[in-house]
Structure formats: structure tokens, C-alpha cells
Chain A
Amino acid sequence: AQTVTQSQPEMSVQEAETVTLSCTYDTSESDYYLFWYKQPPSRQMILVIRQEAYKQQNATENRFSVNFQKAAKSFSLKISDSQLGDAAMYFCAYRRGQGAQKLVFGQGTRLTINP
């Protein structure tokens, strides 16, 4: 079974600084997708970034970027120029290739932004 591990239950960063959240996963599949979701206190699940395993190029979305190391099965999220609105729970998630595929989530990392 696929597993996703986030080893940092909590992280904090100064406003305007850069922070990296870690995620590792275990799979024997070659076709899969990886995601980072943000969950603010409102509980809403917000997609931050998505990475296709077949793409070597790391995905980026404005201040958010990933470091996808396929051989190491590592998928870290870098947040640049941290803002107060970035404070939230962040979940790493994995899904297998095509069709109806469940998301497998990590335990989550609570990110605090210090003004």
C-alpha cells in the first residue's frame, strides 16, 4: 500500500522568509501524481501545487515550488517570501495513475508565520 510521510508536525518561519516542508512517499508505481494542499482554519482544502511523476521539471505556482526527487521518493514544498496568509496546515498527498483514484494523505504540517 502506498504511504505518505510528513515528518515535521510543526514548522514556523518569519514573515518574508523562505520555508521548506518535507514529504516522502512509498510506492512501487511508475505513474502517479503528488499534491500539496493547504488547510486554513476555515477547514477548506485548497490545492497549492500538483506534480506529475512523469515530468522531470519541478512544478511552480507563484511563491510555491516543489523539489521532486523521484528516485528518493521525496516531494518537498518551498514557500518563498512567506506571508501571514500562508499560516495553515499543509498536507502532502499521493494518488496512483489514471481513473478513479483516492488521495493518500500525509499526517500534515502546521505552519506558523511569525510577523
Chain B
Amino acid sequence: NAGVTQTPKFRVLKTGQSMTLLCAQDMNHEYMYWYRQDPGMGLRLIHYSVGEGTTAKGEVPDGYNVSRLKKQNFLLGLESAAPSQTSVYFCATQLTTRYTFGSGTRLTVV
């Protein structure tokens, strides 16, 4: 089925470790977003991309990096994980006013 696939779905990291979350879409959408969801705070934008080779900062970018080398993939990296980055991470694509979300990645940093 067409849509947005996030990998992995779950991950536990130790403080200081690094990892990359992958968001892959097969809908040829230009715009892609990374959000984090924390209890009582809704979803907050980390970084976004308006096309291949472009990235921009969102509301809470500190501690994260992103890359969009290929149109279909949007990678979110944590260089040195901290407990404050324990969260559920969502990727989304946008076409006009329609947003398609992945199923999320639950990340725990211990």
C-alpha cells in the first residue's frame, strides 16, 4: 500500500549513543516533516524539507539533524542521545492540504 513507512518502530538507546530514523514514502510528495510527540504537548515540529536536497529547522531542532538526499527518504539523526529525547517520533508527508503520517517510532533513551 502507498504511504509512509518509518523504521524502526521501537528503539532503546543509551545516553550518548547515536541513531538514525528513516522515513520512506512512495507517493512522490515534495514536502516532508519530522515531529515528536510528548504527553501533554501534542506534536511539535523538529525539522522539515520542501524537496530533495533541502532541509529546514522547525520548532524544536536542537540535538537533531536531518538529510534528504533522495526525494523519497527523510532521515532524522540523533548524534548523542539524551533522556530528554525520549519520545514518539512521527514522519509526515504533505500534498496540498493532505498530510500522510507514518505509524511512529517509540524511542527511549536510558
Contacts and interface: CB of A to CB of B under 8 A. Distances in A.
B74 interface: no
B103 interface: yes
Given A95-B97, A100-B30, A43 B45 contact: no
A6 B90 CA distance: 20
Contacts of A103: 33, 43, 45, 92, 99
A105 B94 contact: no
B3 to A, nearest CB: 10
Given A100-B48, A102-B58, A33 B97 contact: yes
A107 interface: yes
Given A50-B97, A102-B33, A107 B42 contact: yes
Contact of A43 (B33, B42, B50, B88): B88
A30 interface: no
A3 to B, nearest CB: 11
Q: In the complex, which range does the number of interface residues on chain A fall in? A: 20 to 34
B contact patch SS: strand
Q: In the complex, which range does the number of interface residues on chain B fall in? A: 20 to 34
B104 to A, nearest CB: 5
B12 interface: no
Interface in B59-97: 88, 90, 92, 94, 97
A100 B103 contact: no
B2 interface: no
A6 B43 CA distance: 13
Interface string A10-21: 000000000000
Contacts of B40: 9, 107-108
A45 interface: yes
B101 A44 contact: yes
Contacts of A43: 88, 103-104
Interface of B: 30-31, 33, 35, 40-45, 48, 50, 58, 88, 90, 92, 94, 97-99, 101, 103-104
